[in-house]
């Protein structure tokens, strides 16, 4: 049994469907403590058996922002400024986390704050491979 969650940016340029095994209770979410997400109020979730299908209407109206270790791409809508998801390419595979603030439903969420500052790049990538959404497709319509 899978739960399907729809979300996207504010203007609708970036849309996604996130599927995850039906949770027992609330969906665990994590307020990211990195300097970018502190400024954006980014709160994310993922699932190692989940699936993310994103659709971008106009890719020229989007930006991929990197900083720090430059191992993650923050997908930003240039029209409305929302960051619906973040991807990381590890050993040729794409992994993702989704921003729960861009969900359109009213799924029950439970936050578990964490801070990964000080983590080495290697252990960061291993953690992402273990926890992030392993099946990611990004379809672009134009641009």
Residue 132 structure tokens: 């992030």
Binding to Zn ion (CB under 5 A) within 15-34 occurs at none
Asked whether position 77 contacts Zn ion by CB under 5 A, the answer is: yes
Our separate counts of H helices and E strands in the chain read 2, 11
Which is closer to Zn ion, CB of 11 or CB of 109?
A: 11
Residue 105 structure tokens: 């439903």
Among 3, 11, 51, 89, binds Zn ion (CB under 5 A): 11
Which residues does 63 contact at the CB level (< 8 Å), separation at least 6? 75, 76, 78
Residue whose entry in the numeric block shows the structure tokens 């203007």? 11
Among 31, 34, 53, 79, binds Zn ion (CB under 5 A): 79
Which is closer to Zn ion, CB of 115 or CB of 139?
A: 139
Give the interface with Zn ion as residue ranges (CB under 5 A). 9, 11, 13, 77, 79-80
């Amino acid at each position: 049994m899978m739960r399907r969650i729809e979300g996207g940016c504010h203007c609708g340029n970036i849309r996604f469907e996130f599927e995850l095994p039906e949770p027992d209770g609330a969906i665990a979410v994590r307020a990211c403590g990195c300097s970018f997400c502190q400024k954006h109020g980014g709160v994310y979730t993922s699932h190692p058996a989940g699936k993310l299908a994103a659709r971008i209407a106009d890719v020229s109206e989007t930006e991929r922002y990197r900083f720090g270790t430059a191992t993650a791409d923050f997908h930003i809508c240039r029209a409305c400024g929302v960051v619906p998801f973040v991807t990381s390419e590890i050993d040729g595979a794409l992994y993702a986390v989704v921003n729960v603030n861009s969900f359109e439903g009213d799924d029950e969420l439970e936050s578990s704050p964490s801070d990964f500052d000080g983590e080495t790049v290697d252990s960061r990538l291993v953690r992402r491979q273990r926890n992030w959404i392993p099946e990611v497709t990004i379809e672009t319509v134009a641009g």
